[in-house]
Amino acid sequence: MVKHIIQQGDTVDSIANQYGITPERLILENEITDPNRMAIGEMILVVYPKQTYIVQEGDTLSSIADAFNVSWIDILKNNPYITDRDELIVGEEIVIEFEDENKLPLTINGYAFPYISMDVLKKTLPFLTYITIIGHYIFSDGSINNIDDIEIIQLALDYGVGALMHIFTYSNETTDNNIFHTIIHDNAMQDILLDNILTMLRLKGYYGVNIDTPYIYPQDKEIYVEFINKLSQQLNEAGFVLITTISPSDIEITTGITYFGIDYVGISQASNNVIYNLSYDWANPYGIPKSAFSFKKITMAVSSACSQLEPNKMLLGITSIGYYWILPYVSGTTVTTFINHTNAVNIARDHGIPIQFNEINQSSYIHYIEGGFENMVLFKDVRSMASYADLIKEYNLSGVSFFNIMYYFPRTWLLFHSQFEINKVLSPLQ
């Protein structure tokens, strides 16, 4: 695999010729929507097929997969554009296998809201181990809200992906730390909550639970771990998994000082997996996103977490969201607007502005003036994701968790697919 940064004068034909591949494959694998308007500074990936096949009359995904002794999911991972249509095209070339390095196993979780596009979901599911559906919130009486998630759960099952029920405390449109404080001190309330969780899991066909850890009062540190242990035991005995999410604060990341209430070791031991989540920027539009932190600080935070969490259980939570500000930035006052990768690149194309890359925070950015205002767009591209992939390898982490997968990002999936063997917890539908 080769990472290529678009330079002035580059065309799809010139890049393809430079690396000895066809322009068609370069366009397909990078999902280049307009080959005539690539943004300067944009990064694309060049991958080399090891084995290809020309579709014949009567072929199906399953028949081709059987002929080459691979899964139809593998065919989709190598040719995700196929999901954009209902059938194969006779005469088209599809990739059976890419040339790659020795692949390490990797667990991938992706967060999605119930209103995710089914087209986006179908293209993304081949690259996932779990999908966490946002979100079921817990009330102080142990009850849980309901969401429209049946179609997502069923589609996930078809693709061999375990759907996780996302639960967190909720009050007046914000998380409420007091709800957990009340529940974990009341055994009867815990039993009500656990019964409600198990009922929901069985009713809807979930694979397990992804529970968000709120701020835990210092005096609740041990009893919260006891609660997680109790939840984990009951879920596991019933055939479900428990993933616990820990979201370090900005202070923790920048200083290395962790809150007294979070027992990393105890939570890790009690859970099947732990998401060390560096990506919940959506909850605070007035703060500086974690994407703006120096990558050195991110690395130090991961290193510290690995000394307490078990790396073979730890999923690194990262964001796929971009951010837009009108400068000057004033903390607590300036509102952050969220933007996806495609729209960020379109801004660069439309304004004729080169995309630049900040080595300090391993993020791409666009800095320009429009309407008399100074504008800044900060986003993660494939080179940013490559840094996180290297971090996962360096610390031998179990996996990665993306917030969120509401938009399809082909180059990120191509990057991770080329370097890792993505775990599946279920057998895909035949």
Structure tokens, 232? 């984990």
Domain holding 220: CATH number?
3.20.20.80
Say if 207 falls within a structural domain: yes
Q: Which of 116-120, 277-281, 378-382 has the lowest mean pLDDT?
A: 277-281
Say if 23 falls within a structural domain: yes
Q: How far apart are the first and last CA of the chain?
A: 31
Tens digit of pLDDT for each residue in 85-120?
Answer: 778 999 999 999 998 766 899 999 999 999 999 999
Q: Which residues contact 356 (CB under 8 A, 6 or more apart)?
A: 41, 364, 365, 366, 367
Region 306-330: mean pLDDT is: 92
Same domain, 290 and 382: yes
Domain holding 79: CATH number?
3.10.350.10
101-135 b/e (C-beta count within 10 Å ≥ 16 → b): eeeeebbbbbbbeeebeeebbbbbbbbbbbbbbbb
Same domain, 409 and 308: yes
Say if 347 falls within a structural domain: no
Domain boundary among 45, 71, 98: 98
- Give pLDDT, residue 85: 77
Same domain, 288 and 184: yes
147-169 b/e (C-beta count within 10 Å ≥ 16 → b): bebeebbebbbebbbbbbbbbbb
Distance CA 164, CA 287 (A): 28
Please give the single-letter amino acid code of residue 402. F
> How many domains are there within the chain?
2
Residue % of the chain over a pLDDT of 90? 75
Say if 316 falls within a structural domain: yes
DSSP character for 171? B
- Give pLDDT, residue 107: 98
Say if 333 falls within a structural domain: no
User: Residue 288 above 80 pLDDT?
Assistant: no
Rg (CA), the chain: 22
Same domain, 252 and 317: yes
Say if 336 falls within a structural domain: no
Say if 227 falls within a structural domain: yes
Dihedrals phi, psi of 223, to nearest 5 degrees:
-70, -30
A 10 A CB-CB count for 425 gives 14
Same domain, 263 and 387: yes
The position carrying tokens 């010729």 is 17
Q: Which domain holds residue 60?
A: 2-98
Domain boundary among 98, 120, 136: 98
- Give pLDDT, residue 284: 58
Return the HEC string of 139-166: CCCCCECCCCCHHHHHHHHHCCCEEEEE
Region 376-394: mean pLDDT is: 95
Q: What is the DSSP string of 261-308?
A: T--HHHHHHHSSEEEEE---GGG-TTS--GGGS-HHHHHHHHHHHHTT
Domain boundary among 98, 129, 161: 98
Tens digit of pLDDT for each residue in 298-312?
Answer: 999 999 999 999 999
Q: What is the pTM of this model?
A: 0.94
Same domain, 224 and 268: yes
